[in-house]
């Protein structure tokens, strides 16, 4: 389950209104509404504050698996048929 889904569940299970959570976290009510609807994400600082207000702690279950970053490489130069390159003097 995604972190954002877990936070949404925690907000719903908090037992207080979303407005109270927004006020305690200093978050905009509209941004929270869009986040809860799954339309947008929240910034890391906002998630940090929200987690603090909800009493949540982020814990990794195991080693973090980050896929290798694809690095754009140079395209190989294509040689036209019949050309061998420059001839030296």
pLDDT interval class at 80 (50, 70, 90): low
pLDDT digits (tens, 9 = 90+) for 9-36: 999 899 999 999 999 999 999 999 998 8
How many domains is the chain partitioned into structurally? 1
Domain that residue 29 falls in: 3-54
Which DSSP string corresponds to 3-19?
Answer: HHHHHHHHHHHSSS-HH
pLDDT of residue 17: 92
CATH of the domain at 33: 1.10.260
Q: What 3-state class would DSSP assign to 1? A: coil
| Residue 42 covered by a domain | yes
| Residue 62 covered by a domain | no
| Residue 24 covered by a domain | yes
Interacting residues of 34 by C-beta distance below 8 A, sequence separation 6+? 40
Interacting residues of 23 by C-beta distance below 8 A, sequence separation 6+? none
pLDDT of residue 63: 81
pLDDT of residue 47: 87
| Residue 74 covered by a domain | no
pLDDT of residue 1: 76
């Amino acid at each position: 389950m995604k972190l954002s889904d877990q936070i949404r569940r925690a907000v719903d299970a908090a037992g207080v209104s979303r407005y109270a959570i927004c006020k305690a976290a200093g978050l905009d009510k509209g941004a929270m509404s869009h986040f809860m609807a799954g339309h947008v994400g929240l910034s890391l600082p906002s998630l940090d504050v929200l987690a603090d207000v909800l009493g949540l702690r982020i814990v990794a279950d195991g080693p973090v698996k980050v896929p290798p970053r694809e690095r754009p490489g140079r395209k190989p130069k294509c040689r036209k048929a019949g050309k061998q390159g420059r001839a030296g003097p």
